[in-house]
Amino acid sequence: MPISEPPRFLETAARTTKPRRRGITHIIDKGTPLESMGELLEAHGAFVDVWKFGFGTAYIDSTVGAKIELLETHGVKACPGGTLLEAAWWQGRSAEFFDWSRRLGFGCVEVSRGATGLPASSKRELIGAARGHGFEVFSEVGSKDPHEPALPSEWLDEARSDLDCGAAWLVAEGRESGTVGLYGADGSVRTDLVEALGRLGEDAPVVYEAPRRQQQAWLINHLGANVNLANIAPAEVLGVEALRRGLRSDTLRTSLPTHTAGSLGGP
């Protein structure tokens, strides 16, 4: 017999609820079929806040319009990948990109510079243009180029500039591989970059790209259950929520309150 009510016998880490500004889970989608997306959102949509159509996939996905409508019904923001806007900028078609995105129903866009070496001045212009078209802006800080030095002071300056230009969110670059920007080539967390972004303040709208479980766990253990996480694979939505709540070994000791009373054991 199916159980309709969720269990209540554990005290798990406190979580924010949708719509939220802290604790968002930001998906990167590389081509999930429409039917599969619907099944995932029906089961776990409460844990999904932003759905990014990775890279330029939105441009070649014939079902993107239907997907955006589906996301809206589940209270999930739809966002094209920053690489698509960079491609449009590269060909002098930024205005056409914004018009196309608005017609499709995207409510937010990502502005990045990692694929083209977009100058800082052009990035600021694109953030302003996106805001002028009514989009909520996710601005990516850092580069996808592993040969470009990731300096904490420069990341902090870029983040502050993006916020001043009207970005609603700052996305700390980690790529879908988790081996550049915020991370070393081995996937280890660059604590100096995390500390630099932390100087923006506790309530700063920073979203950390964290495609690997070890990276997600590190950020949760150090920044709390309601850290904003991005580049989460669709299939990992429930696993990430379990990490946040202390229901996986990686975060249990830091996120799950200890046993204080009762007769069946505990630390």
Interval 2-39: pLDDT, tens: 557 889 899 999 999 999 999 999 999 999 999 999 99
Which domains, from first to last, does the chain contain?
25-255 (3.20.20.70)
Average pLDDT, the chain: 94
The span from the CA of 222 to the CA of 255, in Å, is: 10
Residue 21 CA: distances (Å) to CA of 25, 126, 204: 10, 23, 10
Residue 260 is predicted with a pLDDT of 59
The span from the CA of 183 to the CA of 68, in Å, is: 31
Mean pLDDT per 10-residue segment, the chain (267 residues) = 76 96 97 98 97 97 98 98 97 98 98 90 97 98 86 96 97 92 95 97 96 98 98 98 97 86 57
Terminal alpha carbon distance of the chain? 34
